Amino acid sequence: MAIFEDNESGALDLVVAPVAWSRGATPASRFPTPSSTFPAPVPSGTAPGDDAGLIALDEHTSIGCLIHDITAHGVELTVPDASIVPDIFMLTASCSESAKVCHTLWRSDETIRARFR
């Protein structure tokens, strides 16, 4: 703790004294950190339910994607540039046990909807 005290010349001196915490109290428990007060920020463009995936463009090149919706029949995902993804591609996802062969049904600049083959 810091306090100001008058010295002999009339000026104020800053005196720093150690703080004794009460039994069981620590600075962390008395003053919550931002991570304990606020939820962790969600990266821009992602939602809590999104999963990571990997699209094979060819046998040597893959790009990352975010999977927004996956069912037994198909998937909706976001990529940086949907125009480079072929109409038929291989998808590996963290939410799926195996790689899936996908056939593109619809695409925009960054979003692809595909069904599984």
Check residue 80 and give its pLDDT: 93
> Which CATH number describes the domain made up of 51-116?
2.40.10
pTM confidence score? 0.58
Domain ranges of the chain: 2-37, 51-116
Higher pLDDT, 54 or 93: 54
Distance of CA 74 to the CA centre of its chain: 24
Q: Which residue has the higher pLDDT, 70 or 30?
A: 70
Report DSSP state, residue 25. -
Dihedral, 108, 64, 85, 90 alpha carbons, nearest 10: -120
3-state per-residue secondary structure call for 53-110: EEEECCCCCEEEEEEEEECCCEEEEECCCHHHCCCEEEEEECCCCCCEEEEEEEECCC
Write phi, then psi, for 8 (nearest 5 degrees): -65, -25
pLDDT at 15: 60
Kindly report the number of other CB atoms within 10 A of residue 102's CB atom: 23
Q: How far is CA 20 from each of CA 1, 25, 26, 27, rounded to the nearest angstrom?
A: 9, 10, 10, 10
pLDDT band at 6 (very low <50, low <70, confident <90, very high): low
